Amino acid sequence: MINAGIVGGAGYTAGELLRILINHPDVEIAWVQSNSQAGKPVTAVHTSLLGETYLNFQAEADYGSVDVLFLCMGHGRSASFLSENEVPEEVRIIDLSTDFRAESEDHDFVYGLPELQRDRIRSATRIANPGCFATAIQLALLPLAKNGLLEDHVHVHAVTGSTGAGQAPSATTHFSWRNNNISIYKAFRHQHLQEIGQSVRMLQPDFDLDINFLPLRGNFPRGIYASTYLYTDLKAGKATELFEEFYADSPFVFCSPTNPDLKQVVNTNKGIVYLDWHEGKLLIVSMIDNLLKGASGQAVQNMNLLFGLDEAAGLRLKPSQF
């Protein structure tokens, strides 16, 4: 069994990670750390796990007692955490923050999008888990980049559920504001653009065009629905062939023959893409669950690769379609 530890165990991503790992056939959860909830039962915060775990949150953690460490803290905190705590070199680390997604000589984290870097992930010891918007948008762009076909500016509209903002309440996550409402934020300057561009250039090094990204806050709890379009001579039939070839070995990404809806991915680790061609424009719809394929599910997918397990172990989840 793989012994796992979770740092920052009180938030949404940690809650989903616990839900998956409790039922994972090859994992034992050694401890869950939380400064704010130390001493309380895990189920006092993650009430949906009542009857499934009897763990308590703890303030201190024994890093030498685990094989893999999941960092579920806020953005900017993972780097300071690792500088302040001695984690044994043999412990694999999967970080769910933005801190190490930009590949650099200053750290040894590998960007953990399996559909892009499966072989590198298998031989890594530290993984930077991708962002949720970034995952959904990359699923739409990478097959084209692999074939050098991003030849025009890219336009993306993507809407995310309220859980993408984290558990801490704010003005734009308050029910009375979010319900029956929608708004754009961080237009053309969302932080996930950096990692999207990095991944595209791994496959198409000469790409230097704009990715025009308009993120929207949706009035639903979870999921990301992205619509991407660009001008191209590539017809939809040929594009579908390229996408199916690119994702042939990916257990969680599927090309839909019909126009899909968001509920097909909610509560799963799936990514669904759908292609349509309109008079010189290729439309790509891509969607994921922001807390699973966009965070905790993908973290477990990366853990499976790190330890040589079935990539889909513990992640065969049914969508919440009704």
If one counts every other C-beta atom within 10 angstroms of the C-beta of residue 235, the result is 12
Residue 150, Cβ neighbours under 10 Å: how many? 23
> Which listed residue (7, 132, 203, 299) is catalytic?
132
Instruction: Give the closest residue to 249 by CA, choosing from 103, 122, 70.
Output: 122
CA angle 104, 109, 111 (to 5 degrees): 90
Beta carbons within 8 Å of 68's beta carbon, 6+ residues apart: 2, 3, 4, 5, 91, 92, 93, 94, 303, 306, 307
**β pairing state of 224-231 and 154-160:** antiparallel
The single-letter code of the amino acid at 179 is N
Annotation marks residue 132 as catalytic = yes
Mark out the alpha helices in 97-131 (DSSP H runs). Answer: 114-122
Token readout for 215 is 């993120």
Nearest CA to 190 among 158, 215, 209? 215
Tell me which residues are annotated as active site: 132
